[in-house]
Amino acid sequence: MTVHMEKTLPLFMETIRKIKSYEEALGVLYWDLRTGAPRKGMDARSEAIGNLSGDMFKLQTSEELGANLADLERPEAFAQLSEIEQRLVTETRKDYDRSVKIPPKLYQEYVVLAAQSENKWEEAKANNDYAAFQPYLEKVIDYTQQFIDLWGAKATRYDTLLDQYEPGMTTAELDRVFGGLREQLVPLVSAIAESPHKPDTSFLQQTFSKAAQKDYSLFILGQMGYDFEAGRLDESVHPFATGLNPGDVRITTRYLENDVTSALFGTIHEGGHALYEQNIMSELIGTPLCTGTSMGIHESQSRFWENVIGRSKPFWERYYADLQQRFPGQLTVPVDSFYSATNVVEPSLIRIEADELTYNLHIIIRYEIEKLIFNGGAKASELPEIWNAKYKEYLGVEPASNAEGVLQDVHWSGGMFGYFPSYSLGNMYAAQIADTMERELPDFWSLVGRGELHPIKDWLTERIYKYGKLRTPSELINAVTGKSLDSSYLVRYLENKYKQIYKL
């Protein structure tokens, strides 16, 4: 190692570890805000978050960090770095360039705009008034277009946005996988809608004690191998998982007395996110590689646990009795009926209430619209009409109002374009990974049926979790499954499952 590098590498490491410390602190501040921080402290808290975020941004964009990066990127220096160090340099360079390419003044204007726009969206949704929101959405799109110009367009302009959440993902690839998905799922959804067999869900219309729900949530998390010495379960209005570091990965859920499945599947979902973050190798702690490699892969883990495992028949053959026991006299239907009732498919208008199958069509609609905006020149004024037409075409339903149509999601108001595809990428990755797991883990479904979930967690740890951001999403899916992303696994999984439930 050259004398030069002996100085640069520790300085570089010190800076990225310090950035991670700020992320940890900000993570706790946000977690706290969402789990019971008192209302009247909001202003001071916002100021604290603003000041810390500003100081973190200074660290992330400092000339010193730029100089250290440039020094470590010299071919003769880079060659001497370990694999982890090389990835750290590459990853930090990517973040650094993304941050320094936006002039601070432009970024500040945008932050203010995004906050106003989110407020306006909330109002507009409540009043079903798209016209009031449209000018804000136009401005948010306009700023996003400027960011694409500054960052540089990839193969298409929308690809630049996708890359933020799913590194390396392209419009071309999404067209391929979402195209296949849409073609297969639209007829399946129609067939289900027309099936005379409808699972009976009436027994779910009861009041279920919150305390018992909480007890069961804790029990299931333990069964999944969630480490309570490296996390905690709290309540919040919108469930979430936050990985401060692998030794502190917190999840929240929400207990609804009139819906026993909400907290149940919500907890398993967030638990899946948490298992990923709890099991990242210790060598990555304190670095930007100590997190999931992409939103799509992260979502594959929450959805693998929630849907593939948690909504499977073997899972309930094992765990239904434990659930019944916690609600004496309330869950008297046989396990098959419970299984069917928690897997009802119904084309609907609202994404966050959608089932595992139709969910993907909600996402494809949003993907196609985002692509139209950034690659096709669609205007904000045209979106309600485009939205409604696509819902009619893919799901056979039409929003009666923009509030339950184009205004339903918060994402666009805050400029989160390119994020939606992650949800269905997660479903596709999950099904593809499950296919490999079924072949490689002996008696996979018997394990689930016996409640031996730890070998499954261990398998995922060895193949996925431990790497954190050390592998890109496409490296990972290829290494785990031997193939690049392929929508046919998800199609096959959904067809097998739902043709059986709906007797098609």
Q: Which residues are catalytic?
A: 270
Pick the piece of the chain touching a second copy (CB under 8 A) from 17-25, 79-87, 96-104, 470-478.
Answer: 17-25
Contact status: 108 vs a second copy (CB under 8 A)? no
CB of 477 to a second copy, least distance (A): 29
- Angle (CA) 136 139 145, round 5°: 145
Contact status: 281 vs a second copy (CB under 8 A)? no
**Which backbone phi and psi does 317 adopt, to 5 degrees?**
-60, -30
Closest CA to 270 of 241, 305, 227, 243: 241
Residues 6+ apart with CB under 8 A from 75: none
Q: Alpha-carbon distance 113 to 141, whole Å?
A: 11
Give whichever of 221 and 406 is closer to a second copy, judged by the CB atom: 221
Q: Which of 11, 13, 34, 48 binds a second copy (CB under 8 A)?
A: 48
Q: Alpha-carbon distance 297 to 166, whole Å?
A: 8
Q: Alpha-carbon distance 152 to 258, whole Å?
A: 50
Give whichever of 38 and 334 is closer to a second copy, judged by the CB atom: 38
CB of 403 to a second copy, least distance (A): 30
CB of 232 to a second copy, least distance (A): 6
Contact status: 237 vs a second copy (CB under 8 A)? no
Q: Which of 36, 152, 222, 376 binds a second copy (CB under 8 A)?
A: 36
Q: Alpha-carbon distance 272 to 276, whole Å?
A: 7
CB of 380 to a second copy, least distance (A): 36
Q: Alpha-carbon distance 150 to 92, whole Å?
A: 18
Buried b (16+ CB within 10 A) or exposed e, 468-491: bbbbbbbebbeebbeeebbbebbb
Give whichever of 15 and 68 is closer to a second copy, judged by the CB atom: 15
Q: Alpha-carbon distance 86 to 97, whole Å?
A: 17
Contact status: 286 vs a second copy (CB under 8 A)? yes
Contact status: 44 vs a second copy (CB under 8 A)? yes
Residues 6+ apart with CB under 8 A from 103: none
Residues 6+ apart with CB under 8 A from 2: 76, 77, 80
Q: Alpha-carbon distance 127 to 402, whole Å?
A: 10
Q: Alpha-carbon distance 277 to 289, whole Å?
A: 11
Pick the piece of the chain touching a second copy (CB under 8 A) from 1-9, 30-38, 382-390, 444-452.
Answer: 30-38
Give whichever of 37 and 378 is closer to a second copy, judged by the CB atom: 37
| Token pair in block for residue 491 | 């199609």
Give whichever of 52 and 378 is closer to a second copy, judged by the CB atom: 52
Q: In the stretch 338-377, what mask flags binding to a second copy with x, by CB under 8 A?
A: ----------------------------------------
Give whichever of 21 and 324 is closer to a second copy, judged by the CB atom: 21
Pick the piece of the chain touching a second copy (CB under 8 A) from 20-28, 137-145, 152-160, 324-332.
Answer: 20-28
Give whichever of 278 and 432 is closer to a second copy, judged by the CB atom: 278
Q: Which of 2, 10, 55, 206 binds a second copy (CB under 8 A)?
A: 55
Site for a second copy in 215-234 (CB under 8 A): 227-232
Q: Which of 7, 10, 51, 126 binds a second copy (CB under 8 A)?
A: 51
CB of 38 to a second copy, least distance (A): 5
Question: What element of type H or E holds 241?
Answer: strand 241-245
Q: In the stretch 241-270, what mask flags binding to a second copy with x, by CB under 8 A?
A: ---xxxxx-x--------------------
8 Å CB contact between 301 and 275: yes
CB of 65 to a second copy, least distance (A): 15
Give whichever of 134 and 287 is closer to a second copy, judged by the CB atom: 287
The number of angstroms, rounded, from the C-alpha of 168 to the middle of its chain's C-alpha atoms is 17
Closest CA to 426 of 477, 495, 369: 477
Site for a second copy, rule CB under 8 A: 17-18, 20-22, 24-25, 28-29, 32, 36-45, 47-48, 50-52, 55, 227-232, 244-248, 250, 285-286
